[in-house]
Every structure is written in C-alpha cells, then in structure tokens.
C-alpha cells in the first residue's frame, strides 16, 4: 500500500508518505515527512516567467527538498533533518545539501552524486548514461537490513549490519549485471535451516562478479537466540543474483568440528515432515525458492522428526 498527502502552504509543498511493504510474515512500513519549494527567474508577469522557464529548459530554476523525518519499519532505521537544493543551469544540474550533493551533466550524460542517509546508506556514485546505464558505487556504509524490505519471501533475513566496498552496476535493457568487492566487520543472518539460531560471519570478504557473490572460508558463530549459547564454525558463502538483482539461490559451505555441534533443520515439504539433528563434519547446502540440495560428510545424532502442519 502506498499513501501520499500533500498540502500547499505559501510557496512550499508539505508532504507525508506511508508505504507498507506486505511480506509473507508481516508488513514493513516506511514513513516520511518532507517539504518541497522552488524558485524560478522573475519576469514582469507569471506568464512570462513560465514561458521563459520552458524556453530555457528550466535554466535558472532551483528546487529545495527538505526531509524532516524518515522511519523504516517502526524505528528500525530512521533519520531526520536532511535536505538538498537542485539548481538548473542549461544542460547542467548542481546539487548541494547534507542529503545529496554533486552534479549532473545532461550534455555528456554523466553524473557524480554523493548520498548520505547516515546509518542506512552512505555512498558516492559515478554514473554514465550516455548509451546504456553504468553506475560505479563507492560504498562507505550500506545497511543490510534494507534487503529484507525488497524480498517478499526472503530465504535470508539480515540484521542491521553495515557493509562497505565498491560495486559496478551495469544495465542492459531490463537486466542488471554487478561486480565489485564488499566487506564487513560482522554480518549476521537468520536462515530457515538453523531454527531459532543466527549465524554471524566475522570479517567476511566478498568478491562480486557477474551477479555472483562469493566469500572464502572464514570463521563464524552460530548463536542460539534462546540460550545465547555460541558455537564456532568455519563457513563460506555464495549468493547468486537474478538479472533483476533479487536473490536466486545461495550456497552455504560449513565445517563443524566435533566440539561445536550445530542443530540443523531440514524441512521436507514433499513428505510433510521436518527433520532436525545435531551435526558435525563438512556440510554443504544449495538453496533456492524451490529446491534444497544437501551434501557432505557429516555425523548426525539426537534426531527428531515432526510434521510440518
């Protein structure tokens, strides 16, 4: 559901917006309050000002956007008092403010923009739209919790950890291709095969090439949400993205030693059963929205079987 209301007060438009993303489990609301104002070159009459605006393609015009507040998922992510002013001068747009700054060269079809959404996203973008679209992003901070808002049926649910690095996004028709390098101090994610547990990757380093994100084997912790017990494992991750940049599948390659058994869940919807057990050894799973492939050399004990219904 999307709802916007706008009220004019003098030369300023005040607006309020509410977007509710309906997911399989609940809605994730996004709420914002903003104000928009503009200035055009003054002529002897309003009609003359409008005619001049059209003839000069907006040259000499400026707009100011003030974001009073932005609230994502009832305070999970929030910021306030952000703004930018956009000024048009022939084929060039200049932007200045604490939310967005930079320039757009419409003649050469290039842009350089810096976006500051604080704990949500901080990044600089070099954009070339002369033929197809190519965006190089130098990312200082990207909150992984934003991904939860995109996927209606997420197989991965991220905590609000920040990643940084660089990425190149290229658009050809309706398809996107990504490459780059991404890093984090810590990256926590909930997965359906670890019931009531969170897996936390420590200092992960990811290589992104042709929509395939890979990490090398590194240390991780499995945290039990009820008892807060921690188990140490080694783990590598691979995430495959579709041409529309949604998650198509992922691979978890896990090494669990004998002193750190992890409770793993294996739902079998075809047989209407759910199997759980303590696992040690080398365990690899490949998962997409339809199938789950399990392989490896593992030792399982303390098994339990229950109905999915």
Query: For residue 50, what are the domain limits?
Result: 1-100
Contacts of 79 (CB under 8 A, 6+ apart): 67, 69, 70, 117, 118, 119, 120
Contacts of 137 (CB under 8 A, 6+ apart): 123, 124, 125, 166, 167, 168, 169, 180
DSSP letter string over 8-61? EETTEEEEEEEEEEE-SS-EEEEEEEEEEEEE----SSHHHHHHHHHHTTTTT-
Angle at 194 between CA 22 and CA 272, to 5 degrees: 75
Q: Are residues 145 and 75 in the same domain?
A: no
Q: Are residues 95 and 129 in the same domain?
A: no
Last residue of a domain, one of 100, 133, 168: 100
Last residue of a domain, one of 100, 135, 161: 100
Asked whether the predicted pLDDT for residue 303 surpasses 90, the reply is: no
Q: Are residues 140 and 63 in the same domain?
A: no
For the chain, the domain total comes to 2
Q: Are residues 84 and 128 in the same domain?
A: no
Report if residue 269 sits inside a domain. yes
DSSP run (H or E) holding 85? strand 77-89
Report if residue 196 sits inside a domain. yes
Q: Are residues 196 and 70 in the same domain?
A: no
Grade residue 296 by pLDDT with cuts at 50, 70 and 90.
confident
Last residue of a domain, one of 38, 67, 100: 100
Q: Are residues 176 and 300 in the same domain?
A: yes
Q: Are residues 89 and 124 in the same domain?
A: no
Q: Are residues 187 and 251 in the same domain?
A: yes
Q: Are residues 139 and 26 in the same domain?
A: no
Asked whether the predicted pLDDT for residue 78 surpasses 90, the reply is: no
Q: Are residues 83 and 169 in the same domain?
A: no
Q: What is the pTM of this model?
A: 0.83
Cβ-contact 264, 279 below 8 angstroms: yes
Report if residue 71 sits inside a domain. yes
Asked whether the predicted pLDDT for residue 47 surpasses 60, the reply is: no
* Rg from Cα positions in the chain: 24
pLDDT-wise least confident of 12-21, 140-149, 155-164: 12-21
Angle at 160 between CA 142 and CA 205, to 5 degrees: 60
Grade residue 244 by pLDDT with cuts at 50, 70 and 90.
confident
More confident residue, 73 or 127: 127
Q: Are residues 146 and 228 in the same domain?
A: yes
């Amino acid at each position: 559901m999307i709802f916007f209301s706008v009220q004019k007060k003098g030369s300023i438009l005040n607006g309020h917006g509410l977007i509710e993303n309906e997911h399989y489990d609940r809605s994730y609301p996004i709420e914002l309050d903003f104000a928009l104002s503009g200035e055009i070159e003054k002529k002897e009459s309003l009609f003359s000002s409008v005619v001049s605006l059209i003839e000069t393609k907006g040259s000499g015009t400026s707009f100011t956007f003030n974001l009073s507040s932005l609230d994502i998922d009832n305070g999970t992510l929030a910021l306030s008092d952000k703004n930018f002013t956009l000024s048009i001068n022939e084929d060039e747009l200049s932007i200045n403010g604490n939310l967005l700054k930079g320039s757009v060269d419409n003649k050469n079809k290039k842009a350089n923009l810096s976006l500051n959404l604080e704990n949500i996203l901080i990044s600089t973008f070099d954009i070339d739209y002369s033929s197809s679209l190519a965006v190089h992003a130098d990312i200082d901070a990207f909150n992984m919790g934003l991904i939860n808002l995109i996927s209606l049926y997420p197989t991965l649910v991220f905590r609000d950890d920040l990643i940084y690095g660089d990425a190149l996004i290229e658009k050809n028709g309706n398809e996107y291709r990504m490459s780059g390098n991404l890093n984090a101090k810590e990256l926590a994610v909930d997965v359906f095969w670890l019931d009531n547990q969170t897996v936390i990757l420590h200092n992960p380093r990811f290589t992104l090439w042709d929509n395939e994100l890979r990490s090398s084997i590194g240390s991780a912790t499995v945290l039990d949400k009820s008892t807060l017990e921690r188990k140490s494992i080694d783990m590598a991750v691979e995430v495959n993205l579709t041409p529309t940049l949604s998650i198509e599948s992922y691979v978890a390659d896990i090494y669990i030693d004998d002193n750190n058994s992890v409770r793993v869940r294996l739902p079998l919807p075809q047989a209407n059963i759910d199997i759980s057990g303590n696992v040690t050894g080398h365990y690899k799973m490949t998962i997409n929205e339809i199938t789950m492939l399990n392989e490896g050399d593992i030792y399982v004990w303390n098994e339990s079987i229950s109905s999915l219904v």
